Amino acid sequence: MVHTIYIEEAISEHPRVQDICDRFPKAVRIPCGRYGEVFNRRSQNFRLQKQWPALILANKHDHFVLGTPEGYGIGSSRNYYFSHMLNCPYDCRYCFLQGMYQSAHYVLFVNYEDFQFEVDRIVNIENDTCFFTGYDCDSLAFESVTSFTADFLPLFQKNSAALFELRTKSVNLKPLLAHPPLPNVIVAYSLTPARIGEQYEDKAPPLRRRIEAIKQLQDYGWPVGLRFDPIIFNSGYREDYTRLYEEVFSVVDVQQLHSASMGPFRLPKAVHETVVKLYPKEKLFAAAAYSHGGMISYQEEIESDMLKFCEAELLKRIPADKYFPCRYG
């Protein structure tokens, strides 16, 4: 539930703004100049704001579509991402967003058409492209407010040569079940062992419901991706990840699977410093405190053993050509 909506004055008449405001008739509406005045204000308390985040409706002016970091991709030669939203209704302890932004408020950029224009422009001049969302938010979790997926599916239906990844933990399948499946749109589920999810993924749907959602999407015909990212270390990780794979692959149709990827838990150095201040007693950050080329992650030997084990177990279950490790550093 949203109790406060900040609205950039310049877009107060935008139809998407009006539509979203109509969904929250009791919310307090506060005009603002630029969203940064609210979002980037100093001395905000991310943890407190996360209890009752406000919604900020804004207009994005530039940098609509960006190149992904090196080593990020699912087989295309040119990889891009775009973020219609900053922050997320879920609260994963390992999430880099809590150390990235001063504020836990949701920022929604309502000028979808500008993102779409830029995607069109790139697709017209480049081949073999993939566009990722869900980098600065969860692609589907706020769909009932944003209608983001419903709005972007026609764009990728038209641009069928480009891949589009929706990265999510949400089980809100409404926009996907209301649209014919598109072979170039991949619904990619982030999955962690149930025990880790219970401990670290507050407000996100449990593993069991994500697996049910995957089954429903595959039955309907949507390409699905599995994202075992981040891989989290604990002393029982071998049992945890073996059980996770057993649960997932007892349901997922591997023939229909688009891709699987995996990456260790890691945070950029500055983000790590901020989250440690937010949770000074959190063991998750104490265990992952080793620097690898600008990123903080586990001790090299632990990370390498863990990835080797998880990769080997995964590759017992899927063909190697569907596997895309996420490298960094």
> Cα angle vertex 212, ends 206, 213, to 5°?
90
Q: How far is the CB of 266 from ligand SF4 (least distance, A)?
A: 13
Nearer to ligand SF4, 8 or 39 (CB): 39
Give CA–CA dist 189/204, Å, rounded: 12
Query: 6 Cβ partners below 8 Å, 6+ apart?
Result: 30, 31, 32, 35, 38, 54, 55, 56, 57, 105
Residue 92 or 211: which CB sits closer to ligand SF4? 92
Closer to ligand SF4 at the Cβ: 6 or 106?
106
For residue 160, the minimal CB distance to ligand SF4 (Å) is 28
Beta carbon of residue 128, minimum distance to ligand SF4 (angstroms, whole number): 27
- If the CB atoms of residues 46 and 115 are measured against ligand SF4, the closer one turns out to be 46
Smallest distance from ligand SF4 to CB 135, Å? 8
The amino acid at residue 79 is: N
Q: For residues 326 and 263, is the Cβ–Cβ distance under 8 A?
A: yes
For residue 140, the surrounding DSSP H or E stretch is: none
For 153, what's the count of Cα atoms within 13 Å in the CB-facing half-sphere? 18
Closest to ligand SF4 by CB, 17 or 272: 272
Cα separation, 315 vs 27, in Å, equals 49
Minimum CB separation from ligand SF4 for residue 133, in Å? 11
Task: Enumerate binding residues for ligand SF4 (CB under 6 A).
Answer: 88, 90-92, 95, 97, 137-138, 169, 204
